Every structure is written in structure tokens, then in C-alpha cells.
Amino acid sequence: MKARLPQGYGGGGANNLQQLARQAQKLQDDMDEITNELDVKEYSATAGGDAVKATVTGKMEVKAIEIKPEVVDPEDVEMLSDLVIAAVNEALRTAAADKSERMEKISGGLNVPGLF
């Protein structure tokens, strides 16, 4: 006795596989496009009431650090260092969150290790 599959299942194995491959390629193309967009996008964050502003790119590279002259105190270089670190880290978090959100939108929450 042969087992029967419900209607709509089976019979189109090669076609289903080709369709799946096309969908995967489209997903990869969309992800590449968004990655390219995000790589050139800039993200900024401030610390210390706008005393320090850091700008990073979507490639997670620091592009600029702006420091207001009134916060430069030779007696307290450590505080300035802390403000720079805080601003840079916040800008990097913003860039990473944007990339993650955009990728999740196109992948429908699909999480395949190594895909992105």
C-alpha cells in the first residue's frame, strides 16, 4: 500500500526547490542592498549635555569627535575621556540597533547563523 500525501504536497519538488532558491537569492540581494546603505549612513550621539558629540558610520567606524572647548579642563582629563567613550559607545549602539532592526524587517525574524 502506498502512502498518499495531502493535496498540494509533493509532486513539485524541483519547482519548489527552485522557488526556494529564488527567494533565498532575493533575500540575500535585499540584505546586501541594506548593508551597503547602512555602511555609509552616519549615526551621532552626545554625552555630558552635548559637551561631546561622536559620529560613527554603519561600518562601526568613528568618523568624528566634537568637543566643546568649555569642557576641556587640563585638571580633569579623565572626565573628558569618559564623556568621549560614552558618546562613541552610544553612537555605536544606535548604529548596531538600526542595522539589526532593518535586517529583521527583511528577513521576517529569520535568524540563520552566518547569513548576516
pTM over cut 0.95: no
Q: Max alpha carbon distance in the chain (Å)?
A: 89
Are the CB atoms for 60 and 28 separated by under 8 Å? no
* Residues linked to residue 42 through DSSP beta bridges, in sequence order: 57
DSSP category for residue 58: T
pLDDT digits (tens, 9 = 90+) for 80-113: 999 999 999 999 999 999 999 988 888 776 665 5
